[in-house]
Structure 1
Amino acid sequence: MTTRSILLSAAASLLAIATASPALADHHEEAASAEASADHAEIGAWGVDLDARDMSVDPGDDFYEYAGGTWMANTEMPGDRSRYGSFDILRERSEQQVHDILNDLAADPASAGPMGQKVGDFYASWMDTDAIEARGLAPAQPYLDRIAAVSDRDGLLELFGTVGYASPVGVGVLPNPADPTQWIAAAGQAGLGMPNRDYYLEEGEEYDAFRSAYRDYIVQISELAGLDDPAGRADRIIALETQLAETQWEPARQRDMQQIMNPMNRDQLAELAPQFDWTDWLAGMGFGEVGTIIAAETTAITAAGELLESVPLDTWKEYLTFHFLSDNAPYLPQAFDQANFNFFTATLRDTPEQRDRWKRGVELVNNNMGEAIGQIYVQRHYPPEAERQMTELIANLRASLHERIENSDWMDEATRTEALRKLTAFEPRIGHPEEWIDYSSLEIDRGDLLGNVMRARQFAFDLDLERLPDPVDRGLWGMNPQTVNAYYNPLLNQITFPAAILQPPFFDPNADPAVNYGAIGGVIGHEIGHGFDDQGRQFDGSGVFRDWWSEATAAQFEERSGRLGAQYDSYEPIPGVNINGSLTMGENIGDLGGLEMAYGAYRRYVAEHGEPPVIDGLTGDQRFFLAWAQVWRGLIRDNALRERLLTDPHSPGEYRTNGVVPNIDAWYEAFDVGPDDAMYIPPEERVRIW
């Protein structure tokens, strides 16, 4: 994870009920056919796959299994996937849509003008495996020669600051938390080969096996490159990375804005880690005019500096050589690519099959020239009706949260006023950016895959440097329109929903409104909720990092969020491995607050349009909660789940359903859940934040 993404994520991711209980039947006297709700919903008749349910499971005992158990039991995990669920299925759809665009451009690049030519050539350079094999290691040799030529620590630092080379400390650009209208540079821990510090430090047979496989991988990469002493190199590299891991911060601590917000001038940086010679090092990267740098994981930066001095120069060069080859293995001959897959995907995530090359090519071009493709994607796949309905839905979500904040019995007036001011200032962005990135200066060569990748990385870095002296452009997007995801940026108080996520099962213009409110409404509410989670709440409506909470109200928030954390700490997805309630706190608050917010928004819709009919034996409220569960259903491999529990601030899908709904009173009424049900939580113990 880059320093920028760390800061943003810190500051800063769907018969039993048909025979409803008498109480439910009393509330909904009229029944209706599915066709009365939506004639052309893409999933089922009105937006939910009813056949996915496991009707042998009581919804109050395991709502996740009830809502999607049959689907999960009958769905085979694709061999090239480490997890597979609603998000992944929709991503496959977007992937195919982009593939069609790329095929058109590769076949006739000039038809879409110079930009189409670049995109088509980039994709073609990936797909031409014969050319990649024929060139062997020649494309990488100039970069390896730069490492070999390093003769002192100044030369080593120069490579640490060069795009495309590994470094124990990363530097990036983001809006300044003290003044989000301006950019600032930030530095933080980096440089490990395995997913995070725990893979080097955790005890147990599983982690011993990962470490052994990593050593074998380093040996294999070294042998493929014809390097001397592969086994010795592997031992020295792992020893170095283990020393780094021992000093790096755990993921939960990296989320703590109070700890990672450490703005420093050059003198303070020199005191923190003098070995980096900050003035020259930053100037070499292009940050020479930047007076203040945010130092995130301070003690890890200090330790990295000490290792820079104590570890032999030749070991650092071996480290850089391995990481360059490993990081770029997919763009080298097939033997390198296969070795990389065998370790990072087959071993670490239990995934037996490499993804089809065209799918990986789609990902590559999306990551490097995404907005060039996005312009075409929006023209083909983003209907205006989606934006109209989303605008109405977001308005109801904002009104719902406004009402909740106004009626909160644990906030004092001063804090409530600031919270409402922040909600008023909040900016939703839907579909696509208004202005697009200009890739005209990016050189793409149809016969030079590795060169294309390296130039694209440099282009992205240079783009940040060009923006650094200017005011922050609020129109910039951090995701492509064809990305199936969404995000909240606390520094700009914005949520962003790309066009690709506005498709079933998240959103369908022809679905039952209860489904859209329970699915995309809950996801939008989740993103809005990040502005008021344990870290996002520390930013005001302008995105400034400051404490606008009274001491008493902050204590109330922490008590409530602490109880939510304790709930998640108790969940054990893998025997002996629990969810980390601190690491996942922000996302869990987002899920709980977002679904509460979405339910309030849905009831506002109902108040305006009238109580919905019963459809297929299901009330509107039942359809709302089923839609949320349908979004999160999925399969995941054991090692992929293990990695997620160690590194991911999101809880596994099962707990994004079962960890949330038992805290919401309306769910109990909708499904007639009582004290005899396994998921029942007494009213006084339910967590209510937003």
Structure 2
Amino acid sequence: MKLNLGLPLIGLALLMACKNKGTETSERTVFLDKAGMDTTVNPGDNFFEYANGKWMKNTVIPDDQSGWGSFYTLYEDNLKKLKGIIEDAEKSNSAKGSIQQKVGDYYASGMDTTTIEKLGAEPLKPVLAKIDAAKNYQELVSLLAELAKTDEAGLLGLNVGADEKNSVKNIASFYQSGLSLPEKDYYFKTDSASKAARAGFVTYASTLFKLTGVDTATATKNANAILALETEIAKSHRSPQELRDPQKNYNKMSLAQLSQLAPNLNVPALFNAMKIKTDSVNVGQPDYFKTLSALLASQPLDVWKTKFKYNYMSRNAGLLSKAFVDASFNFNKIFNGQKKQSERWKRLVSGIDANLGDLLGQLYVEKYFTPEAKQRMDELVNNLQKVFATRIDKLDWMSAETKAKATEKLNIFLKKIGYTTKWKNFDDVTINKGDYLGNARSARTHSYNEMINKVGKPVDKTEWGMTPPTVNAYYNPTFNEIVFPAGILQFPFFDANADDAINYGAIGAVIGHEMTHGFDDQGRQYDAVGNMKDWWTKADADKFKVKADKVAAMYSGFTLLDNQHVNGNLTLGENLADIGGLAIAYDAFKLTEQGKEATKKIDGFTPDQRFFLSFAQVWRIKDRDENMRVRIKVDPHSPEMFRVNGPVYSMEAFYKAFNIPKTAKMYIAPENRLGVW
């Protein structure tokens, strides 16, 4: 479980906008967008609109995007920079097996549309033939093991990581899978959006079958059969909110117990084929595996074969001819609202980051990440850590006993900034210019083997869960670590030339956010060394829950679109992190020279006003309705307006900074303000 910042666009980063190696970018001198503000809005009525209103009104989302805003523009600009790195690698004529050869030839294979179009569905046929040849579900289960090695099974969610109750040792964890729609309710609800999603799925699945030579009637029959099967599978799934309970998701069992739970999976043979050598595993959602086992025996073999074929085709649709790519795009736009596909080279750059992350990452940081940026981040992180410790010490609702343990956990945070100190080895990955699908499958096989080889072995805490160019950050409770990839260390989050108000309001709030995750409703269930363990007194835990429930209730009252409510329980952890993170960042800012100044203005704003405006403009995002509807159902992060307004209206410093009267629409009386940490 990793608790990330939750950027609406998780991908590659823009380069630092100041003094980067290998760039001639001029230094930025203006850090707030005054033109994008709507100063006709009272900041006490809607601070997000005050800070971003004109920008929100005037911005048109590009046709190839599901939303637009600072993160999206950073992502787009960075893709161009990364494209340059990759094209240089492609032209380098480097030795076979080198970083440049693998990165460059992977890109070349994906850009060779002539070969890809000529091949059509041919690359799929060997595996489709294997599925056809299965004589019973037992043989399909054997094939499931084979497809898992290339991440094409679609039925066995699998991850290997620290055992949550023995965090020094890795364990294989299995989790619910098998669905094509975003979450279980899409299979049962009768609203127009859910019906459209199911109809879109049938169209998509039938198109994939037709592209492999199946007649229209049979293709439609197959698609409807898969939808019916997935509906049965969905009955066993936990909801996104339920999946936030780490205790319920920890169900360690022996192989004999798993065999008893899911007898038709033939666990000993399955694990042998998957190269999993262990005497116990964690089964996150046992009901799913019990149901999967029963359905394997009760559903017709031909239905399962169509499901296997669909999973395989859908997983690879983006790597095939234009007809497959278009089918995949048309299905996914139901949920993201994009009107047209992004350019092919952009998709390829993203794919290389996903499949060969540490190879591309090495080239990225060598050219663009400065030691100065890391040094400044080290200072910021350490400052916020000290402030958080002080805040814990001053809590009036927590006992000295629990405070001591909370402080211990905070003080031993593992802090990772920029990029890994131990690059992964990709020697077993073979990249050929003429085999785009084969290259992707080779990279997936590498990832699988790397993962499986960790089972039962000691945890390596030098590992990173994100690639260096990623625009995001995360907290990992089993490592008790906070992680900030190089990609996020750039404007609007961070700029070495910016005043402290800007940096503390932006990257400072991000740092505080990730620190607070160690103490949110999920993170607080893990101790200082990363074990899921109750280290709280009962009285303190009860007081925490009362405060957390108030946060959940307030956010559940927020609405958007056609009166769609935010799910305050689903978003609770992120809301706690947003509120706590901003408060911690503000306290740290007040220790700086600028923070001690009350009236010295820049661009017409006091230091405190700049701090809050910097925070608000970081979250300047405009989503398509389709994308937002899915986010409300499945995303543990609140929509951006509430990520801004929820925290600021809980802080007395905000009210003072903007002279907010008690008559303001969003004024919260001091006794009702949200705050845990």
Which of 200, 219, 224 does residue 213 from structure 1 map onto?
200
C-alpha distance after superposition, 1:614-646 (max 9, x if no partner): 212211111001011011011100110001011
What secondary structure does 1:642 align onto?
helix
What secondary structure does 1:227 align onto?
coil
Aligned to 1:423: 410
Aligned to 1:26: none
Q: TM-score, normalised by structure 2?
A: 0.94
Quick check: 1:632 aligned with 2:616? no
CA shift for structure 1 position 227 = 2.0
1:178–1:101 distance in 2 versus 1, CA, 3 Å: same
Quick check: 1:330 aligned with 2:311? no
Quick check: 1:80 aligned with 2:64? yes
Which of 455, 471, 474 does residue 484 from structure 1 map onto?
471
C-alpha distance after superposition, 1:163-207 (max 9, x if no partner): 233343322211111121111001111011111212212221121
Aligned to 1:24: none
Quick check: 1:244 aligned with 2:233? yes
Distance (Å, rounded) in 2 between the aligned partners of 1:542 and 1:195: 34
Aligned to 1:96: 80
CA shift for structure 1 position 312 = 1.1
CA shift for structure 1 position 607 = 8.4
The amino acid that maps onto 1:182 is K
CA shift for structure 1 position 113 = 7.3
Distance (Å, rounded) in 2 between the aligned partners of 1:325 and 1:410: 55
What secondary structure does 1:187 align onto?
strand
Quick check: 1:441 aligned with 2:428? yes
1:54–1:607 distance in 2 versus 1, CA, 3 Å: closer
In the TM superposition, what are the counterparts of 1:539-578 in structure 2 within 5 Å?
Answer: 539-578=526-565
CA shift for structure 1 position 94 = 2.2
* 8 A Cα contact 1:150 1:156, kept in partner: yes
C-alpha distance after superposition, 1:670-690 (max 9, x if no partner): 111122111111111111101
* 8 A Cα contact 2:501 2:595, kept in partner: no
CA shift for structure 1 position 475 = 0.9
C-alpha distance after superposition, 1:288-347 (max 9, x if no partner): x211111111222212221112111111110111121112111111001001101112x2
Aligned pairs, number: 656
CA shift for structure 1 position 608 = 8.8
Which of 492, 495, 503 does residue 508 from structure 1 map onto?
495
Aligned to 2:266: 277
Which of 353, 360, 364 does residue 373 from structure 1 map onto?
360
What secondary structure does 1:410 align onto?
coil
Distance (Å, rounded) in 2 between the aligned partners of 1:267 and 1:281: 13
Aligned to 1:20: none
In the TM superposition, what are the counterparts of 1:20-35 in structure 2 within 5 Å?
Answer: none
Aligned to 1:204: 191
Aligned to 1:382: 369
Distance (Å, rounded) in 2 between the aligned partners of 1:86 and 1:158: 47
Aligned to 1:8: 2
What secondary structure does 2:560 align onto?
coil
In the TM superposition, what are the counterparts of 1:669-688 in structure 2 within 5 Å?
Answer: 669-688=656-675
Distance (Å, rounded) in 2 between the aligned partners of 1:639 and 1:202: 16
C-alpha distance after superposition, 1:340-392 (max 9, x if no partner): 101112x2221101001111010010000011111111111111211111111
Which of 280, 292, 297 does residue 292 from structure 1 map onto?
280
* 8 A Cα contact 2:64 2:341, kept in partner: yes
Distance (Å, rounded) in 2 between the aligned partners of 1:102 and 1:125: 12
Distance (Å, rounded) in 2 between the aligned partners of 1:598 and 1:41: 29
Distance (Å, rounded) in 2 between the aligned partners of 1:261 and 1:322: 30
Which of 268, 290, 296 does residue 302 from structure 1 map onto?
290
C-alpha distance after superposition, 1:392-451 (max 9, x if no partner): 111110011101100001111111111000001101111111110111211111100111
CA shift for structure 1 position 93 = 2.5
* 8 A Cα contact 2:2 2:474, kept in partner: no
1:509–1:41 distance in 2 versus 1, CA, 3 Å: farther
CA shift for structure 1 position 231 = 1.4
Using the TM superposition, name which of 312-321 and 608-617 deviates more.
608-617
Distance (Å, rounded) in 2 between the aligned partners of 1:232 and 1:182: 47
CA shift for structure 1 position 59 = 0.8
Distance (Å, rounded) in 2 between the aligned partners of 1:62 and 1:109: 56
The amino acid that maps onto 2:247 is Q
What secondary structure does 1:618 align onto?
coil
Distance (Å, rounded) in 2 between the aligned partners of 1:324 and 1:336: 12
Quick check: 1:320 aligned with 2:289? no
In the TM superposition, what are the counterparts of 1:142-221 in structure 2 within 5 Å?
Answer: 142-161=126-145, 162-163=147-148, 164-221=151-208
Aligned to 1:35: none
* 8 A Cα contact 2:501 2:611, kept in partner: yes
> Unpaired segments of 5 or more residues in structure 1?
1-6, 15-39
Quick check: 1:357 aligned with 2:344? yes
What secondary structure does 2:475 align onto?
strand
CA shift for structure 1 position 208 = 1.0
Distance (Å, rounded) in 2 between the aligned partners of 1:458 and 1:41: 39
The amino acid that maps onto 2:249 is I
The amino acid that maps onto 1:620 is P
Aligned to 1:668: 655
Distance (Å, rounded) in 2 between the aligned partners of 1:98 and 1:612: 42
1:57–1:611 distance in 2 versus 1, CA, 3 Å: closer
CA shift for structure 1 position 41 = 11
C-alpha distance after superposition, 1:193-231 (max 9, x if no partner): 111212212221121111112111111111111125111
What secondary structure does 2:417 align onto?
strand
1:54–1:112 distance in 2 versus 1, CA, 3 Å: farther
1:485–1:277 distance in 2 versus 1, CA, 3 Å: same
Distance (Å, rounded) in 2 between the aligned partners of 1:338 and 1:560: 48
CA shift for structure 1 position 512 = 1.0
Aligned to 1:522: 509
* 8 A Cα contact 2:500 2:595, kept in partner: no
Distance (Å, rounded) in 2 between the aligned partners of 1:302 and 1:111: 50
Distance (Å, rounded) in 2 between the aligned partners of 1:661 and 1:13: 19
Distance (Å, rounded) in 1 between the aligned partners of 2:598 and 2:66: 42
Aligned to 1:33: none
1:111–1:613 distance in 2 versus 1, CA, 3 Å: farther
* 8 A Cα contact 1:42 1:508, kept in partner: no
Which of 333, 336, 342 does residue 330 from structure 2 map onto?
342
* 8 A Cα contact 1:46 1:510, kept in partner: no
Distance (Å, rounded) in 2 between the aligned partners of 1:111 and 1:226: 40
* 8 A Cα contact 1:52 1:70, kept in partner: yes
1:106–1:44 distance in 2 versus 1, CA, 3 Å: closer
Distance (Å, rounded) in 2 between the aligned partners of 1:415 and 1:42: 49
* 8 A Cα contact 2:598 2:608, kept in partner: no
CA shift for structure 1 position 571 = 0.9
Q: Which runs of 4+ in 1 moved over 3 A?
A: 7-10, 40-46, 606-612
What secondary structure does 1:251 align onto?
coil
C-alpha distance after superposition, 1:264-299 (max 9, x if no partner): 112221232222222221221111x21111111122
The amino acid that maps onto 1:314 is D
Using the TM superposition, name which of 593-602 and 141-150 deviates more.
141-150
In the TM superposition, what are the counterparts of 1:613-652 in structure 2 within 5 Å?
Answer: 613-652=600-639
Aligned to 1:65: 49
Aligned to 1:49: 33
Distance (Å, rounded) in 2 between the aligned partners of 1:150 and 1:95: 43
Which of 247, 265, 270 does residue 258 from structure 1 map onto?
247
Distance (Å, rounded) in 1 between the aligned partners of 2:223 and 2:570: 31
Distance (Å, rounded) in 1 between the aligned partners of 2:479 and 2:550: 29
CA shift for structure 1 position 46 = 4.1
Quick check: 1:465 aligned with 2:452? yes
Aligned to 1:456: 443
What secondary structure does 2:98 align onto?
helix
Aligned to 2:116: 132
Distance (Å, rounded) in 1 between the aligned partners of 2:314 and 2:288: 24
